[in-house]
């Protein structure tokens, strides 16, 4: 049996192990990681190959899943053809797909396979965000998500030198000079720039949110749903040495990770709090837990496990969080609401309901929009425009 034929069989075995749960398991990436890590026969290149093939399957599931039982060889070939060409997939793809055309767009791939590109997103989601079904947005949804970094230092030449030594190419964003896109394959966590806190991994879209609302240096802010703290660290840097950030989350493990990141970045104006102090803040960021539809290109399994019921449940929770933490904003202070969702029920509907119930809050014009059109109090960041994940942000002030 040839090497590639053996890899095909292993790939099919992995898919069959995952198939019972890929439409219901929110934690599927952890299962994939465990599945690949526990097989000692896999080297690092094997893991990268199978990971790319598995995630390609999840991105294009409606095109591949129906063939797994009646025609597994065709399912495998289609997956290889659709997978990104990397140093780990090159030989595999070349042997399997040499007789198939090289395509440059989703429309060409759909035409060759006589498939429907709009089927690659859940049908019910069209009511939540019709814009994401436009051709350019569909194209972005099916592409691998890029790796974006945020510089936590003004001494960019040190980071550039470090990356040059490692043979890694980067490209600064024209929108934010402190945002760099990594071109090609690179494990930046192994770099001295990462271990010394000079860079953080953070999607460009995530970085744009706080830049859009126009924060003034100084002041005391609360990051109410900090998680592991990507935006907390960015917020602390934007506020500067005269500002302070209290980072709160109900998950102790997330706050522990944030403490590690803050120490690595030598962020002296940020502290983690397990209980929100009873005093008012100059600003509160509510980066609310959501369905994650803005991250579907990065986490394609979420397309198939997210349901309208889950979106409704998240929206109810987000509304409660917004009301809860709005109470901590001083008169004249700012309230920023954000999600990594593209669902109007989790975004515009939550903010509109909040404003209707709270006449003491008003909308604030955005300092920058980066080409997106504000709608009411908020802006939706669609992935295709700047090669990012999808986000929503609303900018409010307490009267």
pLDDT in tens, 237-283: 999 999 999 999 999 999 999 999 999 999 999 999 999 988 799 99
Q: Are residues 268 and 229 in the same domain?
A: yes
**CA atoms of 210 and 69, how far apart (whole Å):** 47
Q: Are residues 298 and 153 in the same domain?
A: no
Q: Are residues 347 and 385 in the same domain?
A: yes
**CA atoms of 317 and 306, how far apart (whole Å):** 16
Residue 326 domain-assigned?
A: yes
Task: Specify the pLDDT at position 39.
Answer: 85
Residue 216 domain-assigned?
A: yes
Q: Which helix (H) or strand (E) holds 137?
A: helix 135-141
For 158, the token pair is 């040190």
SS (H, E, C) 315-335: HHHHHHHHHHHHCCEEEEEEE
Q: Are residues 387 and 269 in the same domain?
A: yes
User: Considering its fold, how many domains does the chain have in total?
Assistant: 3
Task: Specify the pLDDT at position 228.
Answer: 87
Check which CATH number belongs to the domain holding 238 and give it. 3.40.50.150
Catalytic, 225? Answer no
Q: Are residues 312 and 209 in the same domain?
A: yes
Q: Are residues 225 and 372 in the same domain?
A: yes
Q: Are residues 363 and 258 in the same domain?
A: yes
Residue 87 domain-assigned?
A: yes
Task: Specify the pLDDT at position 384.
Answer: 97
Check which CATH number belongs to the domain holding 168 and give it. 3.30.70.1170
Task: Specify the pLDDT at position 1.
Answer: 63
Q: Please classify residue 273 by burial: count the beta carbons closer than 10 Å to its beta carbon, then call 0-12 exposed, 13-18 middle and 19+ buried.
A: middle
Phi and psi angles of residue 166, each rounded to the nearest 5 degrees, phi first: -85, -5
Task: Specify the pLDDT at position 132.
Answer: 97
Q: Are residues 73 and 176 in the same domain?
A: no
pTM above 0.85, yes or no: yes
Residue 359 domain-assigned?
A: yes
Q: Are residues 196 and 208 in the same domain?
A: no
Q: Are residues 246 and 385 in the same domain?
A: yes
Task: Specify the pLDDT at position 387.
Answer: 97
The radius of gyration of the chain from alpha carbons, rounded to an integer in Å, stands at 22
Q: Are residues 330 and 231 in the same domain?
A: yes
Task: Specify the pLDDT at position 278.
Answer: 83
Give me the residues of the chain with pLDDT under 50, please.
none
Residue 197, domain extent: 147-201
Q: Are residues 10 and 151 in the same domain?
A: no
């Amino acid at each position: 049996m040839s090497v590639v034929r053996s890899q095909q069989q292993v790939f099919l075995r992995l898919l069959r192990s995952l198939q019972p749960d890929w439409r219901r398991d929110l934690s599927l990436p952890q299962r994939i990681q465990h599945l690949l890590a526990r097989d000692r026969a896999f080297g690092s290149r094997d893991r990268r190959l199978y990971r790319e093939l598995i995630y390609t399957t999840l991105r294009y599931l409606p095109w591949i899943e129906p063939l797994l039982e009646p025609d597994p060889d065709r399912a495998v070939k289609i997956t290889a053809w659709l997978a990104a060409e990397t140093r780990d997939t090159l030989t595999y793809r070349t042997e399997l797909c040499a007789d198939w055309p090289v395509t440059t767009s989703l429309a060409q791939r759909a035409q060759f396979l006589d498939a429907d590109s709009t089927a690659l997103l859940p049908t019910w989601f069209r009511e939540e965000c019709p814009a994401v079904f436009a051709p350019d947005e569909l194209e972005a949804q099916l592409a691998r998500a890029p790796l974006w970094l945020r510089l936590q230092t003004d001494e960019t030449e040190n980071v550039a030198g470090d990356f040059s030594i490692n043979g890694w190419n980067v490209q600064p964003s024209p929108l934010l000079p402190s945002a760099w896109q990594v071109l090609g394959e690179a494990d930046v966590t192994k770099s001295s720039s990462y271990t010394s806190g000079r860079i953080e991994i953070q999607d460009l879209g995530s970085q744009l949110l706080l830049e859009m609302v126009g924060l003034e240096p100084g002041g005391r802010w609360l990051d109410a749903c900090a998680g592991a703290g990507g935006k907390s660290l960015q917020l602390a840097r934007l506020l500067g040495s005269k500002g302070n950030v209290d980072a709160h989350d109900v998950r102790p493990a997330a706050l522990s990770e944030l403490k590690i990141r803050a120490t690595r970045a030598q962020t002296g104006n940020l502290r983690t709090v397990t209980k929100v102090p009873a005093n008012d803040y100059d600003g509160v960021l509510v980066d609310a837990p959501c369905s994650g539809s803005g991250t579907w290109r990065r986490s394609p399994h979420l397309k198939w496990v997210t349901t309208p019921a889950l979106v409704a449940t998240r929206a109810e929770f987000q509304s409660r969080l917004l009301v809860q933490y709005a109470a901590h904003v001083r008169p004249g202070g700012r309230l920023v609401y954000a999600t990594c969702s593209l669902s109007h029920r989790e975004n515009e509907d939550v903010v509109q309901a909040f404003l209707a119930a709270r006449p003491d809050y008003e909308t604030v014009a955005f300092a920058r929009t980066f080409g997106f059109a504000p709608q009411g109090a908020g802006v939706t960041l669609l992935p295709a425009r700047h090669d990012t994940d999808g986000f929503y942000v609303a900018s409010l002030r307490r009267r």
